Amino acid sequence: MVNKIEIKDVRDPNEIKKFEDIQFKVWGGGVVPSHLIVAVKEVGGVVKGAYVDDKLVGFVYGFIGKYKGRYCIYSHQLAVLPQYQNLGIGEKLKIEQMNWSIDNGYDLIIWTFDPARSKNAWLNIGKLGVITNTYLVEHYGEMEDELNRGVPSDRFMVEWWIKSPWINERPRYRFDKDLKFEYGTALSLIKDEVKITPSQVKHLDDEYVSIEIPIDFDNLGQDTQKLKRIWKLRMREAFQYYFNRGYTVIHFVRNQYMDRGIYILKRGFDPYDKSTW
Ligand SMILES: CC(C)(COP(=O)(O)OP(=O)(O)OC[C@H]1O[C@@H](n2cnc3c(N)ncnc32)[C@H](O)[C@@H]1OP(=O)(O)O)[C@@H](O)C(=O)NCCC(=O)NCCS
């Protein structure tokens, strides 16, 4: 039972040092040294910590970047200790980061995330309202931490247009049965007794299309490690095909059996122009 969750600016270098331990517990390696995060805080970045009963349990930090010709905040890491996850702490950290960014004159926050991670997709797209039409191949090169070892480090670059009407006025859907429009399925998940595999990619011309992913990417049945690679390459093919044709990922939902996550892409979308929603 969690009593009090507080999000605070973190300025004390000894407190920022504790981020290293959280990173290790969350990713199992690939730790960003705290002196870099101290530098971020010093030169106009945003560093926030989440406290439960005065104990640091998570953090987010970001620094000033330039993307597609405009200054923005690049959010580099968000992490919550495993035993405190799924309590809304990740969302609270991001909302505080957004408030700070608006107060400091920014209208865009960007970051990367792994398209194969259903939970991150729900938090980022479903709960926060980010969009993406940018697919980065092998963005971090070969990664050595436990979650990423041996799998292509492809990422979405997501855009959080924090002053756009999309953030507060967009239609919100949690499950596929709630969706209010027709869509074609470009990539579907095939499940049998022993494994979870992707279909071939379909080339559709619908206004909305969907791309399905497993709900738990670390658990694909027999030979999970090999299947993770196959899934990542199939997702790469699908997202690249549709992004190159003017589609944007705008929603993420789950099905009622909670065995798949579903990205919804729309052609010709603009978060500032409601007629394109
Ligand atoms: C990503 C992370 C920061 C989220 O923090 P958190 O405090 O658990 O986030 P929240 O509780 O605000 O939101 C998580 C949501 O995902 C949902 N969820 C959990 N597992 C899920 C899954 N497999 N698929 C879809 N949604 C899932 C939770 O129910 C919750 O949604 P809800 O509030 O609508 O019920 C945390 O899980 C983490 O540290 N992960 C490892 C590191 C990482 O991936 N960092 C981000 C990329 S740099």
What averages of pLDDT result for each successive group of 10 residues across the chain (277 residues)?
88 96 90 95 94 96 95 97 97 98 97 97 98 96 79 96 98 96 97 96 98 96 93 98 98 94 98 97
Measure 262 CA to ligand 1 centroid, in angstroms: 16
pLDDT at residue 30, as a whole number: 80
pLDDT single digits (tens) 226-260: 999 999 999 999 999 999 999 999 999 999 888 99
Å from CA of 115 to ligand 1 middle: 14
Compute the residue count for the chain: 277
Say how far apart CA 150 and CA 143 lie, in whole Å. Answer: 7
Tell me which DSSP letter residue 202 carries.
P
Supply the pLDDT for residue 29.
80
**Dihedral sign, CA of 83, 252, 197, 190?**
positive
What confidence score (pLDDT) does residue 44 get? 86
Q: For ligand 1, say whether the CB of 86 is within 6 Å of any of its atoms.
A: yes
Tens digits of per-residue pLDDT, 59-78? 999 999 999 999 999 999 99
Residue type, 106: Y
Q: What CA–CA distance (Å, rounded) separates 111 from 95?
A: 14
- One-letter identity of residue 5: I
Q: What is the model's pLDDT at position 145? A: 73
Q: What is the 3-state secondary structure (H, E, C) of 53-112?
A: CCEEEEEEEEEEEEECCEEEEEEEEEEECHHHCCCCHHHHHHHHHHHHHHHCCCCEEEEE
| SS3 at position 178 | helix
For ligand 1, atom 25: residue with the closest CA: 119
Give CA angle at 112 (170, 28), nearest 5°: 125
pTM, whole model, 2 decimals? 0.96
Instruction: Give the helix ranges, DSSP H, for 86-243.
Output: 89-103, 118-121, 166-169, 224-243
Residue of 37, 86, 151, 156 best suited for mutating to test ligand 1, as the one with most atoms within 8 Å of CB: 86
Residue with the smallest CA separation from ligand 1 atom 3 is 79
Assess whether the C-beta atom of 87 lies below 6 angstroms from ligand 1.
Answer: yes
Closest atom of ligand 1 relative to the 111 alpha carbon? 48
Residue 235 Cβ < 6 Å to ligand 1: no
CB distance 228 to 151 below 8 Å:
yes
pLDDT of res. 1: 65
Say how many Å lie between the CA of residue 275 and the centre of ligand 1: 31
If you measure from the C-alpha of residue 75 to the centroid of ligand 1, how many angstroms do you get, rounded to a whole number? 16
Judge if the beta carbon of residue 83 lies within 6 A of ligand 1: no
pLDDT for res 148: 76
Give distance in angstroms: CA of 85 to centre of ligand 1.
6
